[in-house]
Structure 1
């Protein structure tokens, strides 16, 4: 067995690998960037090594520094985790050249399967069905246009060196040069290779993958299949194992194809063969992820196996731990990916600091974020993976809905409400979801709580927060820190009134009655009036929580705001009222909304632009974020350039009338 392991990653996957190391009594080395100093993934490590400054290119992607740290700290193996260098053939080769064990496939296998064109040819030779499309790849916009024309519309652009859906782009008609250029840019920045492969787009397919392990000598087994059809921007959102409503014969053919593909390349260690399945039951090879998958916990849940342990044992030279007939599946498992992102703002990453957390009981939580933890702007914004297991799919889905309802994250925007809405969709319950479902029903998944409900909960939370705990009077007037004074008394508001602000609009809240466990308020905003009794009190993690008309809410009262979560959707209600949006003039500046790297400047001095036109593009947390014109005008000044790192709020382009 490996004597000492360096975990060349961060966040929840580093913590996940560390758990197996601790169980197997394998000491491990944890690495960190300046942004991760003191991060939870460093706990329990035998050695800690600073690997570089915050940007990933100068820390977690610095292969030489990682290898040097392993050798200096006496590690004999490196586990790359997921992302970063996990599918980098050059890094794997350098690890082995340094006399260390790379916990993963051989470098030549990573290189062969990482090149989408070459991998497609290898799978076709092995008899695995492949999607029609180009055999060549290119990073020239005009050449890609020609490949699309030859393939036909709609077409799918895939980074030749990519994986995990990153940088994929759908083209439905000619004249898509901007989309092609963006895909090339994303591929180059993410994988160091801008070449794109063009394939025919299979409409409304399901995404089904098969977990495999190989011994590097021709032996291979599968650990059943997973469904990953619930995707956004080709990134998986909810995964489950096994795939739902899949005919047994088709399930068997998928597993056979994956094992045949693994044997054809003499696969070593863990890998995932991904397929798309058409409505007619035909399936096609998509790609191989030559690493552990983010969604591996659902496979662990149904098999009872530790996939990281399998990786470590195989890397140590041991044979496959079990034969195919010894591997069994039980029940059903579902995983949701919880991200720090703002669904209402196009799922823009939302770095910041998590102030409070509440996790569900009865669920597995894979996370490296704790109360007080920052979510840095430099890396993937995942907060946690929530995993549940049950006897069957119906029970498991019900448990996931309950788990999402019990979860609360304060301090940053998250996709929690989006996940809850998605898990409640009838298509998900019926097992008929496909990879385009989220795009088709997205407006229905982004429903925010009504301003009246937010105002009612926020007002009630202010009152409940000010009430004394324990025995004694329950009147807010007798609290040690009452939210308002007697002067606030107003006609029709026996216990006072307050003015709040929600998304720039004022809301008047009148408190009609208050006692421990329930506050009755009348909230008026945008001409709408709501009278409601808000039930609640102090809950877990210091948060206030309760029910409003059958909907679960949580709140955190701050000096000048109230953070409110209703059915998973988060909003911030200001207690410091400012002028409304109609009282403020539109800004002359287009500014960066989040920190990141400027990857494109579309604005040209002197040109006329309309409100909403893209002026620049910032890459942050693995996504491109457009900076748009705040109003109509003429570009008067451009104060940013491609390759520049900018901060949130930094002015980039000035407009004149």
Structure 2
């Protein structure tokens, strides 16, 4: 693509991996750009390479990345003449887009009136129906009143789907399968209001187990539009995409063509400008229905770039500057297949709870595109979306692409925070994914199989082996055996030999329980151990070596493991599942006393309090809800009891570990 770019300097009004992604295109085009940051992101990787860096506010997004006035002020002060909103935050905020243009700046995205029209789900649905695009049956009106939504559900029929009219990306969507689901309705309204500033929800008939297929479009703002083919986004968890592919799998040519035609017709009908994504659900019978338009760049845009060879950010910049569509439809070609996995700092074993913290070790695989928000030593703050990277692979066909993704996941190491890496690997190994026999409920339906509970004995055994290997020292050559002052040349360690050095038996703590690890023998880089605890015993043969940055890695009974040995703990990742094993059993408070208080897992905002003094509760009952990192995190009772004290209120900002509700026996 040739031609100079009329934009002189761009302000990127975002953070993390998308800010770095936009910055790469700017660097290639020799376009200076301004990076912004909150206090939580001071020194973050997305600031590297910027011509200028501007602080825009404190850590909470509402006072930094969602502060449109601060962003526009930063653009003016730095001489930027255009603003790219990135993904999330203000990317689909019509008022912000209008304010940018009112300030005499270029907004890299659709016109404000288009964002407003398509951002309102009810209005967008009417526009698409008028353009001849198939829409999902459901109520025409929307409401933020619980009883009115109950009435709309009754009129629509069950099962129904609640969708925030101002939402996007699946956030806040709620399935309702009973007529009196007032608690679920209230939660959906509350999430919509807190996330999008508008509590109204639209009620639609739920299409059972559909596929989610989307079409990438670009428009010139004057009625011209093209598509850049389709993407498969059916692998979702609670309506949040997890893995995406391009092109969509196993679509009949006729259906693929009709989807593209519908997307282009919808874009032309609203004289769409810049990048957009028309999202559809496809039923088992091949019928498809309009879902929504995302009026921004998509998180999954790299898979489209991989099969077309085009830079979608460059297209955005040129169209925003008034250039025509870079190519006509006949000039746009696709080749091969691409897959993207979203890597999050979250704990799948704890309901995918976000897991902020410091990344101590990081290794990316060769042969994959990595759009990353972090580097080794980076902090994942608790204030924003916890995605830390996107892994993207491409190949000539889908089987090769899937194989490359499995290899890429196996070659990725993230230490210091819990991630969904093991979950992604388990998902990619499923035979249904291999053949493309998935739907939008697949992950939710298969969650027990995808979240096979980690064995604390295995983690403890690997931790014990890591402690031993760390103490012995390792060579850089993986084939070399380890040597120690205690080991006669060529002779294996035995339990009796090690006992004098204190390494024959270790008492560790894993999953809240005591585990005794006996070292039976060590020879040629293999440690044979026996772990005993939780009323069981387990033997393990652990093979390992030292990698870069203090990392230990190898196999345990044939399964891959990685570990970092710290003064008091050992961080272990075994077959993708992460655990922290204490090197000495702690003498913490009495167990009953420890369960008196239920507290916040991370900093956030209290959005609901479900109990009051004197109420009787059972273990697992909901006490309060704390919104953090864009998710509602329930605070539940750790045991049966009576509420003795409620130490929080709705609207209160709380810190990690803060006590919220106290229970009496």
Please tell me the TM-score bracket, short chain as reference.
Answer: over 0.9
> C-alpha displacement at 1:115, in angstroms?
0.4
Partner of 2:88: 83
Partner of 1:501: 509
Q: Could you tell me how far apart the structure 2 residues matched to 1:633 and 1:263 are?
A: 61
Partner of 2:420: 415
Q: Could you tell me how far apart the structure 2 residues matched to 1:515 and 1:468 are?
A: 14
Q: Could you tell me how far apart the structure 1 residues matched to 2:534 and 2:651 are?
A: 44
Q: Could you tell me how far apart the structure 2 residues matched to 1:357 and 1:217 are?
A: 46
Listed one character per residue, the Cα deviations across residues 433-483 of structure 1 (whole Å, up to 9, x for unaligned) are: 10000111101111133223212211111111122344999344559xxxx
Q: Work out whether residues 103 and 312 of structure 1, in 8 Å CA contact, stay in contact via their aligned partners in 2.
A: yes
Q: Could you tell me how far apart the structure 2 residues matched to 1:116 and 1:351 are?
A: 32
Q: Could you tell me how far apart the structure 2 residues matched to 1:487 and 1:61 are?
A: 63
The partner residue of 1:336 within 337, 341, 357 is 341
Q: SS of the counterpart of 2:208?
A: coil
Q: Work out whether residues 404 and 568 of structure 1, in 8 Å CA contact, stay in contact via their aligned partners in 2.
A: no
5 Å-filtered alignment, 1:636-651, equals 636-651=644-659
> C-alpha displacement at 1:487, in angstroms?
10
Q: Could you tell me how far apart the structure 2 residues matched to 1:651 and 1:296 are?
A: 42
Partner of 2:411: 406
- Give yes or no for the alignment of 1:512 onto 2:520: yes
5 Å-filtered alignment, 1:56-455, equals 56-455=61-460
> C-alpha displacement at 1:584, in angstroms?
5.3
Q: Work out whether residues 133 and 266 of structure 2, in 8 Å CA contact, stay in contact via their aligned partners in 1.
A: yes
Q: Could you tell me how far apart the structure 2 residues matched to 1:428 and 1:269 are?
A: 33
Q: Could you tell me how far apart the structure 2 residues matched to 1:550 and 1:407 are?
A: 18
> C-alpha displacement at 1:542, in angstroms?
2.9
Q: SS of the counterpart of 2:330?
A: helix
Q: SS of the counterpart of 1:105?
A: coil
The 10-residue stretch of structure 1 (365-374 or 577-586) with the greater mean CA deviation from structure 2: 577-586
Paired residues in the alignment total: 652
Q: SS of the counterpart of 2:529?
A: strand
Listed one character per residue, the Cα deviations across residues 332-390 of structure 1 (whole Å, up to 9, x for unaligned) are: 10100011111111111111111111111111110121111111110000111011111
Q: Could you tell me how far apart the structure 1 residues matched to 2:453 and 2:371 are?
A: 27
Change (3 A) 1:495 1:223: same
The partner residue of 2:57 within 30, 52, 56 is 52
> C-alpha displacement at 1:495, in angstroms?
5.8
Partner of 2:599: 591
- Give yes or no for the alignment of 1:555 onto 2:558: no
Change (3 A) 1:527 1:590: closer
Q: SS of the counterpart of 1:578?
A: coil
Listed one character per residue, the Cα deviations across residues 307-328 of structure 1 (whole Å, up to 9, x for unaligned) are: 0000001111111111111111
Q: Work out whether residues 475 and 546 of structure 2, in 8 Å CA contact, stay in contact via their aligned partners in 1.
A: no
> C-alpha displacement at 1:489, in angstroms?
4.9
Partner of 1:23: 28
Q: SS of the counterpart of 2:289?
A: strand
Change (3 A) 1:615 1:496: same
Q: Could you tell me how far apart the structure 1 residues matched to 2:348 and 2:590 are?
A: 25
Listed one character per residue, the Cα deviations across residues 54-98 of structure 1 (whole Å, up to 9, x for unaligned) are: 000000000011001101110000000000000000000000000
Q: Work out whether residues 495 and 513 of structure 1, in 8 Å CA contact, stay in contact via their aligned partners in 2.
A: no
Partner of 1:574: 582
Q: Work out whether residues 346 and 352 of structure 2, in 8 Å CA contact, stay in contact via their aligned partners in 1.
A: yes
Q: Could you tell me how far apart the structure 2 residues matched to 1:548 and 1:429 are?
A: 26
Q: Could you tell me how far apart the structure 1 residues matched to 2:260 and 2:174 are?
A: 28
Partner of 2:538: 530
Q: Could you tell me how far apart the structure 2 residues matched to 1:423 and 1:71 are?
A: 46
Listed one character per residue, the Cα deviations across residues 151-188 of structure 1 (whole Å, up to 9, x for unaligned) are: 00000000001100010000000221111111111101
Q: Could you tell me how far apart the structure 2 residues matched to 1:511 and 1:529 are?
A: 13
TM-score (norm 1): 0.96
> C-alpha displacement at 1:402, in angstroms?
0.9
Calculate the aligned-residue CA RMSD, in Å.
2.0
Q: Could you tell me how far apart the structure 1 residues matched to 2:237 and 2:656 are?
A: 25
Listed one character per residue, the Cα deviations across residues 233-266 of structure 1 (whole Å, up to 9, x for unaligned) are: 1100000100111111100100000000000000
Gaps of 5+ in 1: none
> C-alpha displacement at 1:529, in angstroms?
2.5
Listed one character per residue, the Cα deviations across residues 95-115 of structure 1 (whole Å, up to 9, x for unaligned) are: 000000000000000000000
Q: Could you tell me how far apart the structure 2 residues matched to 1:160 and 1:190 are?
A: 11
TM-score (norm 2): 0.95
Q: Could you tell me how far apart the structure 2 residues matched to 1:9 and 1:66 are?
A: 10
- Give yes or no for the alignment of 1:602 onto 2:610: yes
Q: Work out whether residues 476 and 514 of structure 1, in 8 Å CA contact, stay in contact via their aligned partners in 2.
A: no
Listed one character per residue, the Cα deviations across residues 577-618 of structure 1 (whole Å, up to 9, x for unaligned) are: 136999655521111111110001111112111111111100
> C-alpha displacement at 1:515, in angstroms?
4.0
The 10-residue stretch of structure 1 (629-638 or 248-257) with the greater mean CA deviation from structure 2: 629-638
Q: SS of the counterpart of 1:649?
A: coil
Q: Work out whether residues 464 and 516 of structure 1, in 8 Å CA contact, stay in contact via their aligned partners in 2.
A: no
Q: Could you tell me how far apart the structure 2 residues matched to 1:318 and 1:504 are?
A: 61
Gaps of 5+ in 2: 488-492
Q: Work out whether residues 357 and 541 of structure 1, in 8 Å CA contact, stay in contact via their aligned partners in 2.
A: no
> C-alpha displacement at 1:488, in angstroms?
9.4
Q: SS of the counterpart of 2:229?
A: strand
> C-alpha displacement at 1:425, in angstroms?
0.8
Listed one character per residue, the Cα deviations across residues 542-572 of structure 1 (whole Å, up to 9, x for unaligned) are: 3111112221111111111111111211111
